[in-house]
């Protein structure tokens, strides 16, 4: 699907939601993280697997789409890590991270990420990179903790109103997603799907962010996505430009939903651009 729902390759999905404040001082000790070596953070409400790599002044933090773990950034991380400390991680229920009973709305996930970064020893400000629902999560993080964020790179981000509007403006595709949610989603995906808008009423989205931002969107849609769903996504891209304060909508020629796989160089360049504008 699009900003909201694609997870694993050939799998279409949907996403969206957004506050817990987790105290870094209450965190349990975690395994030390060697560069490029997996580590584990034991947070009060989740145990999260992550990897640190690279070196540099401004840390870059990657957040994956619904259904994806940290490996989806494999083509991007090596280049970014030449200039930055990089953190990629599996949200609870994905990859090497254990499931959690903690709410899966965007605000809770943003708070967990903040606690993870503190435990990993990464000091703000950060450049946040997010894909799909992970883009919404990073946007919410920037709204909740603006002092922590130096820049934002969004790849086909799930719009805060995507699911609610889809049910009326792209109802056929919405029915397809409901079926997939019932038959194909695992428990982590279902929880994120269901909670995608639960806390957004507490997030100020009336004005653009005041940080450097880049908005990258795909060029190609799948056959089942064309028509009303594609039209909805294109319309919401314009609103994402307003929300993020990005100077333009960067449509990346030849890319599908996984821009970071189809054109990792452009993602690296976007990180460099927001860092230069800092």
d(CA 248, CA 20): 32
Cα–Cα distance for residue pair 205/259, rounded to 1 Å: 26
Residue 69 pLDDT greater than 60, yes or no? yes
Q: Pick the range with the lowest mean pLDDT from 2-6, 68-72, 103-107, 109-113.
A: 2-6
> For every residue of 134-196, which 3-state class applies, written as one string?
HHHHHHHHHHHCHHHEEEEEEECCCCCCHHHHHHHHCHHHHHHHHHHHHHCCCHHHHHHHHCC
Structural domains of the chain in order of their starting residue, each with its CATH number = 34-277 (3.40.50.1820)
DSSP string, 204-260: --SS--SS-EEEEEES---GGGTTHHHHHHHHHHHHHHHHHT-SSEEEETT--S-HH
Mean pLDDT of the chain: 88
pLDDT at 36: 72
User: Cα separation of 177 and 212, whole Å?
Assistant: 33
Which pLDDT belongs to residue 23?
32
- Residue 131 pLDDT > 80, yes or no? yes
- Name the band, by pLDDT with cuts 50, 70 and 90, for residue 278: low
Whole-number pLDDT of residue 2: 42
Distance CA 76, CA 63 (A): 13
pLDDT at 15: 36
* pLDDT for position 90: 97
Condensed to tens digits (0 to 9), the pLDDT of residues 161-200 reads 999 999 999 999 999 999 999 999 999 999 999 999 999 9
The residues, ordered by sequence, that sit 6+ positions from 136 with a Cβ below 8 Å of its Cβ are: 3, 15, 16, 17, 18, 106, 130, 157, 158, 159, 160, 196
Percent of the chain with pLDDT over 70: 87
pLDDT at 25 over 50: no
Question: What's the distance, Cα to Cα, between the start and end of the chain in Å?
Answer: 33
Q: Strand 249-252 vs strand 149-155: parallel, antiparallel, or unpaired?
A: unpaired
Confirm if 214 and 152 have CB atoms less than 8 A apart.
Answer: yes
Residue 1 in this model has a pLDDT that exceeds 50: no
> Which residues lie across from 216 on neighbouring strands?
155, 250
pTM, two decimals, is: 0.88
More confident residue, 239 or 8: 239
């Amino acid at each position: 699907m699009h900003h909201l729902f694609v997870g694993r390759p050939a799998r279409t999905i949907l996403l969206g939601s957004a506050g817990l404040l987790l105290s870094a001082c209450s965190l349990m000790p975690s395994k030390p993280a060697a560069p490029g070596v997996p580590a584990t953070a034991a947070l009060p409400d989740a145990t999260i697997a992550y990897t640190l790599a690279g070196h540099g002044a401004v840390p870059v933090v990657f957040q994956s789409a619904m259904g994806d773990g940290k490996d989806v950034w494999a083509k991007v991380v090596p280049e970014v890590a030449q200039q930055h400390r990089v953190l990629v991680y599996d949200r609870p229920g994905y990859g090497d991270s254990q499931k959690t009973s903690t709410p899966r709305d965007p605000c809770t996930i943003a708070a967990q990420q903040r606690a993870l970064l503190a435990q990993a020893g990464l000091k703000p400000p950060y450049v946040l990179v997010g894909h799909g629902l992970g883009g919404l999560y990073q946007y919410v993080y920037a709204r909740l903790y603006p002092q922590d964020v130096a820049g934002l790179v969004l790849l086909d981000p799930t719009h805060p109103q995507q699911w609610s509007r889809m049910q009326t403006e792209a109802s056929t595709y919405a029915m397809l997603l409901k079926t997939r949610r019932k038959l194909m989603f695992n428990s982590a995906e279902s929880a994120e799907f269901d909670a995608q808008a639960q806390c957004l009423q507490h997030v100020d989205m009336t004005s653009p962010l005041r940080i450097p931002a880049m908005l990258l969107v795909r060029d190609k849609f799948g056959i089942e996505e064309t028509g009303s769903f594609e039209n909805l996504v294109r319309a919401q891209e314009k609103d994402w430009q307003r929300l993020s304060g990005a100077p333009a909508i960067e449509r990346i020629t030849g890319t599908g939903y996984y821009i970071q796989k189809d054109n990792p160089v452009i993602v690296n360049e976007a990180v460099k651009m927001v860092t230069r504008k800092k």
